[in-house]
Amino acid sequence: MSAPEVARGEDGRVLAPFGRRRGLVVSTRKVGAYVLLEVADRDGPQADPGQFHMLATVHGWGGGEDERPYLPRAFSPMGSSGGHLWFLLEDVGPGTHRLATLKKGEALWVTGPLGNGFTLPDAPSADEHPGGGRDPAFGGARRPILVAGGIGLPPVMALSGALAHRGIEATMLLGFRDAAHAQVAASFAGARLATDDGSAGHHGYVTALLRAELERDPHALVYACGPAAMLEAVRGLATGNGVPAQLALESGMACGYGACFGCVVPLTAGGYARVCVDGPVMAAGTLRSVPAL
Amino acid sequence: MSAPEVARGEDGRVLAPFGRRRGLVVSTRKVGAYVLLEVADRDGPQADPGQFHMLATVHGWGGGEDERPYLPRAFSPMGSSGGHLWFLLEDVGPGTHRLATLKKGEALWVTGPLGNGFTLPDAPSADEHPGGGRDPAFGGARRPILVAGGIGLPPVMALSGALAHRGIEATMLLGFRDAAHAQVAASFAGARLATDDGSAGHHGYVTALLRAELERDPHALVYACGPAAMLEAVRGLATGNGVPAQLALESGMACGYGACFGCVVPLTAGGYARVCVDGPVMAAGTLRSVPAL
Amino acid sequence: MSVTFCGRQLEHRVVNGSGTFDAIAAERAFGPALRAAFPFSAYVSKTITLRPRDGNAPPRLWETPAGMVNSIGLPNKGVAAYLAEDLPRYAMLPVPLITNVMGGTGEELAEVAAAVGHRPEIFALELNVSCPNVATGLDIGAVPSDLEAVVRRVRAVTAKPLIVKLTPNTADVTLCAQAAEAAGADAVSLINTLRAVPLHPDGRGGRWLGSGQGGLSGPAIRVVALAQVAAVAERVALPIIGMGGVQHGRHAADLLSAGATLVAVGTESFRDPRAAGRITEELKALENAGRARTPPGGQASVCP
Amino acid sequence: MSVTFCGRQLEHRVVNGSGTFDAIAAERAFGPALRAAFPFSAYVSKTITLRPRDGNAPPRLWETPAGMVNSIGLPNKGVAAYLAEDLPRYAMLPVPLITNVMGGTGEELAEVAAAVGHRPEIFALELNVSCPNVATGLDIGAVPSDLEAVVRRVRAVTAKPLIVKLTPNTADVTLCAQAAEAAGADAVSLINTLRAVPLHPDGRGGRWLGSGQGGLSGPAIRVVALAQVAAVAERVALPIIGMGGVQHGRHAADLLSAGATLVAVGTESFRDPRAAGRITEELKALENAGRARTPPGGQASVCP
Ligand SMILES: Cc1cc2nc3c(=O)[nH]c(=O)nc-3n(C[C@H](O)[C@H](O)[C@H](O)COP(=O)(O)OP(=O)(O)OC[C@H]3O[C@@H](n4cnc5c(N)ncnc54)[C@H](O)[C@@H]3O)c2cc1C
Ligand SMILES: Cc1cc2nc3c(=O)[nH]c(=O)nc-3n(C[C@H](O)[C@H](O)[C@H](O)COP(=O)(O)OP(=O)(O)OC[C@H]3O[C@@H](n4cnc5c(N)ncnc54)[C@H](O)[C@@H]3O)c2cc1C
Ligand SMILES: Cc1cc2nc3c(=O)[nH]c(=O)nc-3n(C[C@H](O)[C@H](O)[C@H](O)COP(=O)(O)O)c2cc1C
Ligand SMILES: Cc1cc2nc3c(=O)[nH]c(=O)nc-3n(C[C@H](O)[C@H](O)[C@H](O)COP(=O)(O)O)c2cc1C
Ligand code: FES
Ligand code: FES
């Protein structure tokens, strides 16, 4: 799925151009409770699913009554092609609000792709990746179960595209707060849906769907992205069932490329790992827990 | 000219409502090198000529690469009527730039009118004003000469309207850098023009026109607003010729209402006066000099 | 929402920072509306000194990211004129008056304090030992033993509540707070401005401010204020007036959580003369919604 | 535009602030492009200590108006692993290496300094005596006599250029700079972050950072940095690495005007990994246009 001319690092990740670059807003669209932002990023390489970009607007980043945001914000594209990036945004604070209210033609700063993405089941190099969090178990013929919760959808969407491209069948489980948030899932014909309030699909958490799936097929492997509590539940289920799982984590970030040591999560082995360079995708087994933000 | 229901303080100045209020941009228009900004300010009282308002935009004030502006900026309306204020802006820095690029419908914070305005020649209360800078000499039958340099035009424009309204004839001398800046003066049929580069009107400084006027009529009185160097020259001419002059000063301000003591100018009598409450209009005789900003 | 501070009931917890609101000038600008909607629960007047001061040469202001630097230099008419001209006007404000005083030496300071310390119009004294614009103010406040000596001198000449305004430009503000406490202060206030030097924008390397250096205030210093207020609250039992970058009720609530009894609004009043009124309303709304942890009023007060 | 600093010719005046650029991680993210366009004229590595440290519990970051607060807590693999694993990689960078070290005691610090002090890959040592996240680092740097003693110990174990990174959280930074000078330091660097405490946005009064407190950096502290650099430059003859809130060439030029020989970029690199490259270009453009007053390179250097 990645264009062949993309440069990769020693650990297999797609490398980012050094320095931030200017992107241009091509379009913005409301999709239920989210905003879909299309950015022209001519000079950027195509990202692997699970990688992310640091974004900031060129004008009006910071200022106003509270003078935030000041630092760039991390976002995983849900897709990219032909020099365009698609981001799905949830307006939860000053940074996402500013990005969600961008107008066509406005400029933004883009740095990335950053971090290590998901290791695909058939990726020949899966075992070679030293970039923390890769799991050697990811090489076999296990059936991938993709789990997304809320705004955790974008990297999972990108992954599902990459799997489909390779002809790998996967089960998609999507959880949302309610129908308004679930609207974005309409494009996933085969996905199974859960909402917290039962207004669409299964009434309850998406992890209930996962539990049932893992009972049916213990020889699966799990990819997940979503809120910390959901990922922690997924981690528990996967660890409990002896199933490998790759979790795409969130964390408050300042830099996104390992410079600040601010984005850490605690490791089973003791100490911390940086989500931005050792993640954001990490093997469930390496994590002591998925900390609440 | 002021509506009768306007509240005035003990020193005669139009009082400002306590607290900043929201204004709305009605229109913006380029006029040569300047921008004309029309603001709906329904709750604001009409200002006396020479008073000013502190302005800041509600959104996007501060932020971006340099995080300025943070404090509001001072502007003298060049006219006001029916709850609308007209400002003429010169884009010289981050604050004026933000204001000059406002769009119709955007909101801005308005505090004012502030400061003391010009004392009109026939104002019966002229001698009673204790508000620093008023000049008792301003009561006689002297012919007013109005002198404006560049963006000093707005208060002088407001004053000329007030004088015309009272049937007082005045001489208008306007100085600009060049024809592009002078374009705004087109509406003043009777005004005499000077440009630094000679591209319109007299080639040279407006103070040359003033010198000639004062030679012709030593029984004049002078009202002036413009760059510090011009005001300093006006001060010298007026003092030298024994002619009373009221100068509308500029100064870097934080508050505009006497709170910060930041906007001072040195006085002949020693010490300093606050331009925002003791000015911005001050009698030339009270000033030790008009300091460059 | 009222609060007891040094034995006096105040209507709410928001006062002004000394030198950031001139009630007399504000009345010239806003007329009777000012008193009708007076935004502070006590009024702190600008620092006065024994003799009149012109203040520093301009420019006195510099705008900086999320803040400003001032180098005002404590212009004031001196204590005698303060008592004769300003006090009668301040006495007409609808709230108690706190008179901020400073002196270049302990002797001078005691003299000023003595002159104002028996006036019934005045509720309390605040000692400015921390102004970064005047060399003497700075030095006294930064050295705990010097500070203690000065506070003792002032304590000896007045029975009024004594608030010591600490300097933030010190290695450990808690040592200074403890010195103030030991010397008999009734409260401390902090933070004053951080020492700052802006250069001229022309790039020739000269200093912008007439006096060369000034003090940084505004949102930029808010987290520094929280750090110092929290540190002092942990070490001394005195009530605290917390300040530094307060723009919203949330910021006031944070300072109260950190241990302040009152909060002062400074620079934000420049952006909106009625800012403190809005902040008080926001703070009340947070308290009503249970989203502010305010300390019980006056409990920490050890005042006469 | 090259400059001599402590006897070494550097290509330009812009380096990084310790702990704000991990060249090894950056190489993982950006690949060979990093070395090809390496933005610093010398590379300062993150503070290392004698034994490995995990660093502070998260959250470690807080965004504040025009700045950020960090409470990273000096995570590092310890001096032995630094020498074995990191040094060979840093040695491959196209610029000289400055190794930043710290210790909880003078003894510990001297031990770390001795371990790195003879390695040819290392150009200079920087002593971090000012990190507000670790109690020990703070205390040593804030008391001139303690600082002098520590610097003497380190001076005794290494002949390499010795840069002392001063703490800004002190009453008079010039006394600390003089203490460093007296003890044989070859340069000083400043400012480190200002002590800061952000509270949790949930309004319950708890502290946001895992460790409770952190340090403020970024544009918010720029004028404080200028004040301290200017004050130190007036009092000591040592070359200075100035830092604090540098975002543009103009800000770098200001620090140079104030007396710095080199300028470090810290927080701005988080907003743009190549920020220092842009700043260097902007600085050169200002110098070429005669709009920057840069001190003559290395003149102030008294290094071996
Ligand atoms: C790898 C990665 C990929 C991501 N992908 C996406 C995506 O595709 N789409 C998407 O919508 N989001 C995504 N996110 C999340 C997104 O980055 C955050 O929602 C965003 O950073 C929030 O910024 P904000 O300014 O809107 O909100 P903030 O106000 O910054 O709020 C975010 C959280 O930060 C905390 N906070 C509040 N105030 C402060 C403060 N002053 N300083 C520090 N923390 C504070 C609070 O806990 C708050 O809940 C991703 C995050 C990561 C790490
Ligand atoms: C009473 C009064 C009436 C006025 N009326 C008008 C009017 O009608 N129309 C109009 O266009 N203008 C008017 N002005 C001038 C206007 O207020 C200024 O042009 C404006 O404040 C500039 O702000 P800025 O952000 O655009 O520029 P700034 O960058 O603030 O530049 C203004 C000047 O401030 C200095 N400066 C630069 N950086 C800083 C800094 N960081 N901190 C402090 N100072 C700095 C420089 O010397 C610069 O030349 C008036 C001023 C006063 C006092
Ligand atoms: C323009 C200005 C003038 C000040 N004058 C005084 C003063 O006279 N006496 C004093 O004790 N503090 C003075 N201060 C400090 C403030 O009272 C307050 O401690 C500081 O500004 C921090 O609060 P803020 O960030 O809300 O402004 C002054 C501050 C400013 C900005
Ligand atoms: C996230 C972060 C980590 C830091 N780590 C260190 C460190 O390990 N050692 C050190 O001496 N200074 C450290 N600093 C301080 C910086 O080197 C610098 O002195 C400070 O941030 C001011 O510069 P700035 O405003 O450009 O960031 C750190 C700063 C930040 C923001
Ligand atoms: S965000 Fe800076 S190290 Fe991860
Ligand atoms: S601008 Fe604040 S006193 Fe004049």
With contacts defined as CB-CB under 8 Å, which chain C residues touch B264? 55, 58, 60, 75
Measure CA C222 to chain center: 15
Residue D41's CB: how many other CB atoms inside 10 A? 25
Contacts of B85 (CB under 8 A, 6+ apart): B23, B38, B39, B41, B44, B47, B53, B77, B79, B110
* Cα separation, B85 vs B76, whole angstroms: 10
| B262 interfacial to chain C (CB closer than 8 Å) | yes
Judge whether C49 is annotated as a binding position.
no
Burial class (CB in 10 A: 0-12, 13-18, 19+), A9: middle
Q: Is C294 in the pocket of ligand 3 (CB under 6 A)?
A: no
- As for ligand 2, residues whose beta carbon falls within 6 Å of it are B 52, 69, 73-76, 87-90, 92-97, 151, 154, 250-253, 280, 293; C 61-63, 201
Residue A240's CB: how many other CB atoms inside 10 A? 10
* Cα separation, C36 vs A240, whole angstroms: 67
* Cα separation, C296 vs A16, whole angstroms: 54
Name the minimum distance, in Å, from the CA of D155 to any CA of chain A. Answer: 30
Average pLDDT, chain A: 89
Q: In the predicted model, is pLDDT for residue A118 greater than 50?
A: yes
Q: In the predicted model, is pLDDT for residue B61 greater than 90?
A: no
DSSP-derived 3-state class of residue C13: coil
- D190 CA distance to ligand 5 centroid (A)? 23
- For chain B, helix (H) and strand (E) counts, in that order, are 6, 16
* Cα separation, A194 vs A202, whole angstroms: 4
Q: In the predicted model, is pLDDT for residue C7 greater than 70?
A: yes
Q: Do B67 and A63 touch (CB under 8 A)?
A: yes
Burial class (CB in 10 A: 0-12, 13-18, 19+), A256: buried
Q: Is D244 in the pocket of ligand 4 (CB under 6 A)?
A: yes
| B290 interfacial to chain C (CB closer than 8 Å) | no
Structure tokens at C41: 């629960």
Q: Nearest residue of A to residue D73 by CA position?
A: A261
Q: In the predicted model, is pLDDT for residue B125 greater than 80?
A: no
Catalytic residue among D6, D131, D176, D303: D131
Measuring CA to CA, which residue among D275, D206, D221 is closest to residue D64? D221
* CA distance to A226, C205, D80, D214, per residue, from D120 (Å): 48, 38, 16, 34
Span B103-115, pLDDT tens digits: 999 999 999 999 9
Judge whether C165 is annotated as a binding position.
yes
Measuring CA to CA, which residue among C242, C269, C285 is closest to residue C23? C269
Share of residues in chain A with pLDDT > 70 (%): 90
Judge whether D99 is annotated as a binding position.
no
Sign of CA dihedral C173, C175, C176, C177: positive
Catalytic (active site) residue D6: no
Measuring CA to CA, which residue among A114, A151, A144, A117 is closest to residue A133? A117
At position B252, the amino acid (one-letter code) is G
| Contact call for residues A228 and A293 (beta carbons, < 8 A) | yes
Structure tokens at A281: 């995708």
Domains and their CATH numbers in chain D: 3-292 (3.20.20.70)
Q: Do D248 and B67 touch (CB under 8 A)?
A: no
- A273 CA distance to ligand 1 centroid (A)? 19
Name the minimum distance, in Å, from the CA of B67 to any CA of chain D. Answer: 7
| Contact call for residues A78 and A68 (beta carbons, < 8 A) | no
Q: What length is written for chain A? A: 293
Q: Write down the pLDDT at residue A136.
A: 47
Measuring CA to CA, which residue among B207, B233, B21 is closest to residue B109? B21
Q: In the predicted model, is pLDDT for residue B132 greater than 70?
A: no
Chains C & D: contacts with CB separation below 8 Å: 123
| D144 interfacial to chain A (CB closer than 8 Å) | no
* Cα separation, A257 vs A74, whole angstroms: 11
HEC assignment per residue over A107-172: EEEEEEEECECCCCCCCCCCCCCCCCCCCCCCCCCCEEEEEEEHHHHHHHHHHHHHHHHCCCCCEE
Query: Which atom, in ligand 4's list, is nearest to the CA of D193?
Result: 20
Q: In the predicted model, is pLDDT for residue C291 greater than 90?
A: no
- C211 CA distance to ligand 3 centroid (A)? 17
∠ CA(B250), CA(B253), CA(B255), 5° rounding? 135
Span C255-274, pLDDT tens digits: 999 999 999 999 999 999 99
Q: Nearest residue of C to residue A65 by CA position?
A: C247
Sign of CA dihedral A56, A57, A63, A66: negative
Q: Is A272 in the pocket of ligand 5 (CB under 6 A)?
A: no
Structure tokens at D65: 């108006």
Choose which residue among B51, B57, B70, B73 to substitute to test ligand 2 binding: the one with the highest number of ligand atoms within 8 A of its C-beta.
B73
Q: Write down the pLDDT at residue A59.
A: 85
Average pLDDT over residues B126-137: 41
Judge whether D7 is annotated as a binding position.
no
| Contact call for residues B206 and B194 (beta carbons, < 8 A) | yes
H or E stretch at D112: helix D106-116
| Contact call for residues D70 and D193 (beta carbons, < 8 A) | yes
Q: Is C132 in the pocket of ligand 3 (CB under 6 A)?
A: no
Query: Which atom, in ligand 3's list, is nearest to the CA of C267?
Result: 27
Of the bound ligands, which one is closest to the alpha carbon of residue C49? 3
Average pLDDT over residues B139-152: 87
Which of A22, A57, A67, A102 has the most B C-beta neighbours within 10 Å, making it the best mutation to test the interface with B? A67
Q: In the predicted model, is pLDDT for residue C95 greater than 70?
A: yes
Of the bound ligands, which one is closest to the alpha carbon of residue A254? 5
Measuring CA to CA, which residue among D71, D136, D144, D142 is closest to residue D109? D136
Strand stretches in C240-289, DSSP E = 240-243, 262-265
Contacts of A248 (CB under 8 A, 6+ apart): A50, A76, A118, A152, A155, A156, A223, A224, A225, A279, A280, A281
DSSP-derived 3-state class of residue D28: helix
Span A161-170, pLDDT tens digits: 999 999 999 9
Q: Nearest residue of C to residue D294 by CA position?
A: C205
| Contact call for residues D196 and D218 (beta carbons, < 8 A) | no
Q: In the predicted model, is pLDDT for residue B139 greater than 60?
A: no
Of B19, B72, B264, the CB nearest to C277: B19
pLDDT in tens, chain D (304 residues): 799 999 999 999 999 999 999 999 999 999 999 999 999 999 999 999 999 999 999 999 999 999 999 999 999 999 999 999 999 999 999 999 999 999 888 889 999 999 999 999 999 999 998 754 444 445 688 889 889 999 999 999 999 999 999 999 988 999 999 999 999 999 999 999 999 999 999 999 999 999 999 999 999 999 999 999 999 999 999 999 999 999 999 999 999 999 999 999 999 999 999 999 999 999 999 999 988 876 654 443 333 3
- C19 CA distance to ligand 3 centroid (A)? 5
Choose which residue among B73, B250, B261 to substitute to test ligand 6 binding: the one with the highest number of ligand atoms within 8 A of its C-beta.
B261
Q: Is A262 in the pocket of ligand 5 (CB under 6 A)?
A: yes
Q: Is A253 in the pocket of ligand 5 (CB under 6 A)?
A: yes
**Within 13 Å, how many C-alpha atoms sit on residue D9's CB side?**
3
Contacts of A185 (CB under 8 A, 6+ apart): A153, A174, A176, A191, A193
Lowest mean pLDDT among B23-32, C133-142, D275-284: C133-142
Judge whether D218 is annotated as a binding position.
yes
- As for ligand 1, residues whose beta carbon falls within 6 Å of it are A 52, 69, 73-76, 87-90, 92-97, 151, 154, 250-253, 280, 293; D 61-63, 201
Token pair 């981050």 is found at: B94
| Contact call for residues C21 and B259 (beta carbons, < 8 A) | yes
Residue C119's CB: how many other CB atoms inside 10 A? 15
Q: Is B208 in the pocket of ligand 6 (CB under 6 A)?
A: no
Average pLDDT, chain C: 92
With contacts defined as CB-CB under 8 Å, which chain C residues touch D230? 197
Measuring CA to CA, which residue among A253, A284, A242 is closest to residue A132? A284
Span B192-209, pLDDT tens digits: 999 999 999 999 999 999
Name the minimum distance, in Å, from the CA of A66 to any CA of chain C. Answer: 8
Average pLDDT over residues A84-110: 95
Judge whether D191 is annotated as a binding position.
yes
